[in-house]
């Protein structure tokens, strides 16, 4: 595990799809810098050369050169290139080509104020049913333990473990307000929206522990909604999974869901 | 003339009718200007407090920290909820109570009738209703600081479900917004009718000053974009007060407790309705500023615009296009590639007319004889700073680069460069430029230049480091800025930015002093046209009386005939035959 350092500039990129995004960011910034320096030089030249002074007067007719129009067309063409040459393909390739489910690690992330509930399907590869009515302090996902598929499911809080060099599909949702699932070093960002489950994917290229941040204002704990992504070697990952499975309790007899006091809009706080 | 005087004498107005419940567009314009300036400073004060927390997280705010209640700043230390309230109210106040009322309500009201040679707005009472509706909206917003739970704290964007479950302040916010939207709708109808109906003889559309064009297009944006937000605001009110779930999906659980709502709604619906307003709103913020800058630059360059018609066509095109880019604020909501490709394409298209506007102004400098007046300083500074704001929109408008930059400080830097160093500088320039017409006196030049230079340096000190933070991946709206490792690496920039913000705050006292002292001690203008300008407002007596012009103006030529070959003077006003 090589230690990574953060500084000014882009954070280190440790995902397979990330370099294309970084490349685009860098290309655009060179384009912006070129335009700004060009405009700025012309601007300052004009400010000095055309200042009011004795013996100098303004000219009514504009000097009509083709240069500005050419420049304008050039800017437009470069934007077409940014779109068609870079942004469309990068975005489409990333969004429209999910890894095959059977070759990837699938995991659900259900955000809540102010934590990330991480849900692994367990050995059967099936996520157990969850029902919001069963949500309680000890069962933040409302996992229905009467469902056989739920019995081997692993649920952690704020601890996302994935193997290195293997695609990971994260199905992102939220149980309360909108959050933003963000792993800066993986160039992953996706709003976690209640009522929707939205998949994102990445493949880590290096082991280590990294931050999961919340990108969308979600309440007074927004800035402290820190999760941890642990990228393990395949062996270490399997060992972690085995360890988690051992900790699973034998399925309890599902208690009759207590009727908690309902929350009504506007009543919090 | 004499008939007019009779009319005036017959209706002697009381002080209150003349200066408080006035229907004169100039008085209303001044009311808007003063109120909006106060709100701008107040909104900036909220931010200066937040900047303490960002620079020195968890440290008690010195001196004034102890003045706050225990529910906001116990022991002077800012609680996250209070930080979020300050953030939401800073955004709301700056946009809806500061910049738009100043540029549209203040400058628009004062200048549009004068620049088109009209005696007043088409509907003077509607105009007064618009101001008072704005005033009520503003007072409502301010009152929300004093309700239990404090002011709205879900961001100026008020995304549900967070806003649906927020404290009472959010309800007040929504009521305030309804009043503010009503104000804007009344104003926009008035502007459109005024510009269409009340232009002086000879003032064809293509002889109107660019500022009038900018206000005209802005009014259409306000008229067409605000109703969806008004509807959305009422729907959110219903969600909060009447138990509906327009924006609440099935199966929500707050703090582990299922919510007692029927569900079936969509949080994304709010975002669409909100941004359908809020993107055109960006152009509402910027177009009048562009108008002011154009007037100031042309007057001080002493030559016509490089291409007047190109600017008009660009601003109309901008207006139309601004209605089909809104979803670029929502690229991370999981939309499909077809939709997002459509919106990133329209976003690139809208950058073209913006670049054209900027280029025309730059090219106008070529061949000029530039007078470096105080308003010209501000107008010139607008150009590169607006350019930074525009250019940094590119990586946010492209979906692929937006993945990393979305919801980071890069976004904050981007839109502040557009509206703070951009629009606010244009508005300052406008105040210095038209002050002699409104008051009959000049503002102090030396103080104006000191105000300019400190503000120029400080404002860049605030916003430039935001790009560094954004590139580093720091999320916006963090009450504690340095929890994450990548944020700790750039925490030093926060101290620098905060010091810049406080310096900017101090510099504004120079402006405030200049603004009030010049009323008494400013150099008196000796002519109605102290800048040797060409547009109709400089024909009116100084300050313009009720009814504006001594005799009906007639327009003979385009708005920017400067340095016409063969003329004795270097300016040929629109109103001189």
SS3 sequence of B326-391: HHHHHHHHCCCHHHHHHHHHHHHHHHHHHHHHHHHHHHHHCCCCECCCHHHHHHHHHHHHHHHHHH
Q: pLDDT, tens digit, for every residue of B421-474? A: 999 999 999 999 999 999 999 999 999 999 999 999 999 999 999 999 999 999
Predicted confidence band of residue A239 (pLDDT cuts 50, 70, 90) = very high
- A135 and A230 in a common domain: yes
pLDDT of residue A178: 97
- A234 and A183 in a common domain: yes
pLDDT of residue B327: 95
Task: Report CB contact under 8 Å: B479, A51.
Answer: no
- Which chain A residues contact residue B484 at CB under 8 A? 184, 211, 213, 226
pLDDT of residue B3: 46
Q: pLDDT, tens digit, for every residue of B253-269? A: 998 888 888 889 999 99
Predicted confidence band of residue A65 (pLDDT cuts 50, 70, 90) = confident
Q: pLDDT, tens digit, for every residue of B158-196? A: 999 999 999 999 999 999 999 999 999 999 999 999 999
**b/e code B468-491 from CB counts within 10 Å (16+ = b):** bbbbbbbbbbbbbbbbbbbbebbe
Write down how long chain B is. Answer: 577
Instruction: Give the DSSP letter string of A64-132.
Output: --SHHHHHHHHHHHHHHIIIIIIIHHHHHHHHH-PPPGGGSEEEEEEEETTEEEEEE-TTTT-PPPB-G
- A115 and A90 in a common domain: no
CATH of the domain at B300: 1.20.210.10
The least confident of A14-18, A183-187, A263-267, B554-558 is: A263-267
Residue A230 lies in a domain: yes
Residue B557 lies in a domain: no
Residue B571 lies in a domain: no
Q: How distant is the Cα of A140 from the closest Cα of chain B, in angstroms?
A: 6
Task: Report CB contact under 8 Å: B267, A137.
Answer: no
Residue B252 lies in a domain: no
Cα separation of B151 and B158, whole Å?
A: 12
Is the Cβ of A36 closer than 8 Å to some Cβ of chain B?
yes
| Average pLDDT, integer, range A226-245 | 96
Q: pLDDT, tens digit, for every residue of A112-170? A: 999 999 999 998 889 999 888 888 878 888 888 888 899 899 999 999 999 999 999 99
Query: Are residues B211 and B287 in contact, defined by beta-carbon separation less than 8 angstroms?
Result: no
Residue A255: strand pairing partners? none
Is the Cβ of A133 closer than 8 Å to some Cβ of chain B?
yes
Task: Report CB contact under 8 Å: B366, A62.
Answer: yes
Residue B280's SS3 state is helix
Q: Would you call the peptide bond into B543 cis, given omega within 30 degrees of 0 as the criterion?
A: yes
- Best probe of the B interface among A217, A224, A226, A264, by most B CBs < 10 A, is A217
- A121 and A221 in a common domain: yes
- A146 and A23 in a common domain: no
- A146 and A22 in a common domain: no
* Encoded tokens for B234: 């009422």
- A120 and A72 in a common domain: no
Write down how long chain A is. Answer: 269
Cα four-point dihedral sign A141, A144, A145, A148: negative
Q: How distant is the Cα of A144 from the closest Cα of chain B, in angstroms?
A: 14
Cα separation of B470 and B464, whole Å?
A: 10
- Which chain A residues contact residue B327 at CB under 8 A? none
Residue A115 lies in a domain: yes
> How many domains does chain A contain in total?
2
Residue B2 lies in a domain: no
Q: What percent of chain B has pLDDT over 70?
A: 98
Q: pLDDT, tens digit, for every residue of B340-351? A: 999 999 999 999
Instruction: Give the DSSP letter string of A242-266.
Output: HHHHHHPPPPPPPPPPP-PPPB-TT
Among A74, A38, A72, A65, CA closest to B367: A65
pLDDT of residue A268: 42
Predicted confidence band of residue B19 (pLDDT cuts 50, 70, 90) = confident
Predicted confidence band of residue B5 (pLDDT cuts 50, 70, 90) = very low
- CA separation, residue B377 to residues B300, B356, B386 (Å): 10, 22, 14
Predicted confidence band of residue B14 (pLDDT cuts 50, 70, 90) = confident
B242 burial via Cβ count (<10 Å: 0-12, 13-18, 19+): exposed
Task: Report CB contact under 8 Å: A51, B388.
Answer: no
Is the Cβ of B309 closer than 8 Å to some Cβ of chain A?
no
pLDDT of residue B281: 93
- A167 and A87 in a common domain: no
Q: How distant is the Cα of B410 from the closest Cα of chain A, in angstroms?
A: 12
Instruction: Give the count of alpha carbons within 13 A of B576, CB side only.
Output: 14
| Average pLDDT, integer, range A46-50 | 97
Residue A31 lies in a domain: yes
- Which chain A residues contact residue B489 at CB under 8 A? 5-8
**b/e code A166-194 from CB counts within 10 Å (16+ = b):** ebbbbbbbbbbbbbbbbbbbbbbbbbbbb
Is the Cβ of B566 closer than 8 Å to some Cβ of chain A?
no
Query: Are residues B358 and B383 in contact, defined by beta-carbon separation less than 8 angstroms?
Result: yes
Q: B217 pLDDT exceeds 60?
A: yes
Cα separation of A48 and B401, whole Å?
A: 38
Task: Report CB contact under 8 Å: A176, B254.
Answer: yes
B212 burial via Cβ count (<10 Å: 0-12, 13-18, 19+): buried
Cα separation of A178 and B407, whole Å?
A: 13
Phi then psi for residue B455, to 5 deg, are -60, -40
> How many domains does chain B contain in total?
1
pLDDT of residue B262: 86
- A160 and A84 in a common domain: no
Q: B8 pLDDT exceeds 70?
A: no
Domain range for B475:
21-246+265-538
C-alpha of B434 from chain center: 18
Query: What residue has token string 């994260």?
Result: A170
Q: A258 pLDDT exceeds 70?
A: no
Predicted confidence band of residue A263 (pLDDT cuts 50, 70, 90) = low
Cα separation of B477 and B128, whole Å?
A: 37
Q: pLDDT, tens digit, for every residue of A173-208? A: 999 999 999 999 999 999 999 999 999 999 999 999
Residue B568 lies in a domain: no
Predicted confidence band of residue A248 (pLDDT cuts 50, 70, 90) = confident
Between A62 and B265, the higher pLDDT residue? B265
Residue B554 lies in a domain: no
- A90 and A118 in a common domain: no
Q: A69 pLDDT exceeds 90?
A: no
Query: Are residues B481 and B474 in contact, defined by beta-carbon separation less than 8 angstroms?
Result: yes
Among B150, B129, B133, B151, CA closest to B141: B151
Q: B116 pLDDT exceeds 90?
A: yes
Between B486 and A255, the higher pLDDT residue? B486
Task: Return mean pLDDT, chain B.
Answer: 94
Domain range for A132:
101-247
Predicted confidence band of residue A265 (pLDDT cuts 50, 70, 90) = low
- A240 and A117 in a common domain: yes
A154-157 β-sheet, strand order = A154-157, A115-120, A105-112, A167-174, A198-203
Residue B546 lies in a domain: no
pLDDT of residue A267: 46
| Average pLDDT, integer, range B284-302 | 97
CATH of the domain at A242: 2.60.40.420
Cα separation of A183 and A192, whole Å?
A: 13
Query: Are residues A144 and A129 in contact, defined by beta-carbon separation less than 8 angstroms?
Result: yes
Predicted confidence band of residue B532 (pLDDT cuts 50, 70, 90) = very high
Rounded to 5°, the CA angle A79-A80-A82 comes to: 60
- A135 and A92 in a common domain: no
**Range B464-469, long-range pairs (CB < 8 A, 24+ positions):** B464/B413, B465/B490, B465/B493, B465/B494, B465/B496, B465/B497, B466/B409, B466/B410, B466/B412, B466/B413, B466/B416, B466/B497, B467/B392, B467/B409, B467/B410, B467/B413, B468/A8, B468/B493, B469/B408, B469/B409, B469/B410, B469/B413, B469/B493, B469/B494
| B:168-197 residues touching chain A, CB 8 A cutoff | 168, 170-171
Query: Are residues B20 and B471 in contact, defined by beta-carbon separation less than 8 angstroms?
Result: no
Residue B258 lies in a domain: no
């Amino acid at each position: 595990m090589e230690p990574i350092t953060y500084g000014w500039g882009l954070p280190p990129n440790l995902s397979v799809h990330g370099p294309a995004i970084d490349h685009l960011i860098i290309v655009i910034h060179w384009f912006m810098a070129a335009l700004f320096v060009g405009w700025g030089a012309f601007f300052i030249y004009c400010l000095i050369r055309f200042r009011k002074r004795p013996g100098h007067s303004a000219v009514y007719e504009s000097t009509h050169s083709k240069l500005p129009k050419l420049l304008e067309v050039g800017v437009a063409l470069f934007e077409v290139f940014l779109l068609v040459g870079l942004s469309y393909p990068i975005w489409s390739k990333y969004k429209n080509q999910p890894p095959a489910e059977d070759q990837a690690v699938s995991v659900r992330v259900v955000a809540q104020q102010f934590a990330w509930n991480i849900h692994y399907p367990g050995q059967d590869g099936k996520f157990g049913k969850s029902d919001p009515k069963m949500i309680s302090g000890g069962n933040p996902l409302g996992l229905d333990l009467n469902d056989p598929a739920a019995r081997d499911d692993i649920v952690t809080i704020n601890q996302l473990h994935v193997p290195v060099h293997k695609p990971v599909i994260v199905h992102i949702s939220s149980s309360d307000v909108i959050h933003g699932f963000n792993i800066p070093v993986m160039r992953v960002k996706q709003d976690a929206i209640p009522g929707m489950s939205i998949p994102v994917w990445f493949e880590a290229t290096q082991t280590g522990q990294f931050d999961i941040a919340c990108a969308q204002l979600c309440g007074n704990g927004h800035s402290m909604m820190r999760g941890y992504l642990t990228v393990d070697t395949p062996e270490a990952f399997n060992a972690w999974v085995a360890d988690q499975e051992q900790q699973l309790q034998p399925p309890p007899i599902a208690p009759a869901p207590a009727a908690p006091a309902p929350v009504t809009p506007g009543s919090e706080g | 003339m004499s008939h007019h005087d009779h009319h005036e004498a017959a209706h002697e107005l009381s002080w209150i009718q003349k200066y408080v419940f006035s229907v004169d567009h100039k008085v209303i314009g001044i009311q808007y200007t003063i109120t909006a300036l106060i709100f701008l400073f107040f909104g900036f004060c909220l931010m200066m407090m937040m900047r303490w927390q960002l620079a020195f997280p968890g440290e008690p705010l010195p001196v004034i920290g102890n003045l706050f209640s225990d529910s906001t700043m116990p022991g002077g230390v800012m609680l996250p909820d209070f930080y979020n309230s300050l953030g939401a109210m800073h955004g709301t106040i700056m946009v809806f109570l500061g910049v738009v009322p100043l540029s549209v309500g203040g400058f628009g009201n004062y200048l549009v009738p004068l620049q088109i040679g009209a005696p007043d707005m088409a509907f003077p009472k509607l105009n007064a209703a618009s101001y008072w509706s704005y005033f009520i909206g503003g007072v409502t917003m301010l009152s929300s600081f004093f309700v239990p739970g404090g002011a709205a704290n879900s961001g100026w964007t008020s995304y549900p479900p967070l806003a649906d479950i927020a404290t009472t302040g959010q309800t007040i916010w929504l009521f305030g917004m309804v009043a503010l939207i009503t104000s804007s709708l009344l104003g926009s109808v008035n502007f459109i009718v005024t510009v269409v109906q009340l232009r002086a003889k000879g003032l064809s559309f293509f002889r109107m000053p660019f500022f009038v064009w900018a206000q005209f297009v802005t009014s259409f944006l306000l008229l067409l974009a605000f109703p969806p937000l008004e509807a959305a605001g009422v729907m959110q009110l219903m969600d909060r007060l009447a138990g509906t779930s327009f924006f609440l999906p099935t199966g929500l659980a707050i703090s582990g407790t299922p919510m007692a709502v029927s569900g079936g709604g969509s949080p994304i619906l709010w975002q669409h309705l909100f941004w359908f307003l809020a993107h055109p709103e960006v152009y509402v913020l910027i177009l009048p500023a562009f108008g002011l800058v154009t007037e100031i630059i042309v007057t001080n360059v002493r030559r016509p615009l490089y291409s007047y018609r190109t600017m008009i066509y660009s601003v109309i095109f901008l207006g139309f296009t601004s209605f089909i880019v809104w979803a670029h604020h929502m690229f991370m909501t999981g939309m499909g590639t077809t939709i997002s490709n459509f919106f990133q394409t329209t976003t690139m298209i809208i950058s073209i007319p913006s670049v054209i506007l900027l280029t025309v102004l730059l090219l106008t400098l070529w061949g000029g004889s530039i007078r470096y007046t105080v308003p010209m300083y501000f107008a010139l500074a607008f150009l590169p700073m607006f350019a930074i704001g525009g250019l940094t929109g590119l990586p946010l408008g492209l979906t692929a680069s937006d993945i990393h930059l979305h919801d980071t400080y890069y976004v904050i830097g981007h839109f502040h460069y557009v509206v703070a160093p951009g629009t606010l500088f244009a508005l300052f320039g406008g105040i210095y430029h038209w002050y002699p017409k409104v008051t009959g006196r000049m503002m102090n030049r030396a103080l104006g230049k000191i105000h300019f230079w400190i503000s120029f340096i400080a404002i860049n000190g605030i916003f430039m480091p935001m790009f560094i933070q954004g590139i580093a991946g720091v999320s916006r709206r963090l009450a504690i800025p340095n929890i994450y490792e990548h944020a700790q690496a750039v925490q030093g920039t926060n101290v620098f930015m905060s010091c810049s913000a406080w310096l900017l705050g101090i510099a504004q006292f120079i402006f405030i002093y200049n603004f009030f002292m010049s009323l008494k001690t400013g150099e008196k203008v000796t002519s109605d046209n102290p800048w040797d300008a060409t547009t109709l407002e400089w024909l009116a007596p100084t300050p313009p009386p009720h009814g504006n012009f001594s005799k009906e103006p007639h327009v003979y030529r385009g708005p920017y005939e400067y340095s016409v070959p063969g003329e004795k003077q270097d300016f040929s006003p629109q109103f001189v035959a």
